[in-house]
Homo-oligomer: A and B are copies of this chain.
């Protein structure tokens, strides 16, 4: 298997050490940042408004969170990047001193698509709160991320919906590439408050050859890491999984690979096999607020269901999360029915811990050379449950 190595050094203060694995297949690595180390594969809880909903930074640390994701667009609208800066930057504001990865705002701009107009310069947009006009450009999204004090910034990409024609996908890919080059050029003009790595994003819809060519050109650019975007936007599941695999294999072996917006234990298995190192998803916290709680076999339960009313057992036997160590299913059921905040907090901590623990074990298996057993054991539980 061909090893593709990055042609440029990473930003000072950042490094990526591959401890197990190679160009393809499961990897275990450590991404070092000036804000701390991230042992991969790693999951990033999402803190949209400057907080992972219902969870304190201390609680995040206690369940094994190493890095959080925050949404530049939402923070830029409210309270505004200048206010974040005046409050000491995003780390100070969030009370989270570990690494923070910020998205570019591109996903929100595209997901709120009826309000945008895409031009070569950037995306004209009316924000979802007061309709104020906003122009996001490859340069301005970096300015915003630098201003709020991101540890790892993402470039602005074009994120077409699923099912578009090949022409549209090719055109989006080409524009994403031009925007990536503008980001690289603009990087040296940034006013940085703290060191900020920059990740490029691979687009290209579900077309295998577009993905490959895109990856080949993207990896020539001196990014500190590479993300796969435009997945989980409505395409079918098999297409999504193939897309991940097609993309990752052409990315440099010695840089972190981040699969944007995908979370789920079964998806982790496929993505790790494709060589992905980092994940984010709102599902663990959003589902927790909707009473959907995850189990380690990939299944879930609705804690509002009356079968849990008098159940003294924890959500999951052997789980080391704060909810399972101290509370029964019956208590959680009661808290959810009463709409008590504590229920959402405990549910979020549990769901996040299930994700973190799964990736910790995947990492351990990879380091020990027992990935196949880990994968097999999970899939056999998963399918016996499903089937």
Contacts and interface: CB of A to CB of B under 8 A. Distances in A.
Nearest to A327: B95
Contacts of A264: none
A51 B338 CA distance: 10
Contact of A331 (B55, B95, B340): B95
A355 to B, nearest CB: 20
A128 interface: no
Given A86-B330, A334-B49, A54 B342 contact: yes
Interface in A298-336: 309-310, 312, 322, 326-328, 330-331, 334-335
Contacts of A79: 309, 330, 334, 337
A132 B67 CA distance: 50
A326 B93 contact: no
A93 B95 CA distance: 30
A55 B344 CA distance: 11
Nearest to A57: B326
A322 B56 contact: yes
A340 B49 contact: yes
Contact of A55 (B55, B326, B335, B342): B342
Contacts of A341: 53-54, 341, 344-345
A261 to B, nearest CB: 21
Given A56-B322, A88-B312, A310-B83, A93 B342 contact: no
Interface in A33-52: 49-51
Contact of A338 (B49, B88, B330): B49
A7 interface: no
Q: How many chain copies? A: 2
Nearest to A94: B331
Nearest to A340: B51
Nearest to A333: B79
B83 A309 contact: yes
A209 to B, nearest CB: 44
A334 B86 contact: no
A50 B331 contact: yes
Interface in A51-100: 51, 53-58, 78-79, 83, 86-88, 92-95
A309 B338 CA distance: 32
Nearest to A86: B310
A335 B47 CA distance: 12
Contacts of A322: 56, 58
Contacts of A328: 87-88, 92-93
Contacts of A312: 86-88, 92
5 contacts: A54-B345, A56-B342, A56-B346, A83-B309, A83-B334
Interface of A: 49-51, 53-58, 78-79, 83, 86-88, 92-95, 309-310, 312, 322, 326-328, 330-331, 334-335, 337-338, 340-342, 344-346
Given A49-B340, A92-B328, 6 more contacts: A50-B334, A50-B340, A53-B341, A56-B322, A79-B337, A87-B312
3 tightest A-B CB contacts, nearest first = A95-B326, A54-B341, A87-B330
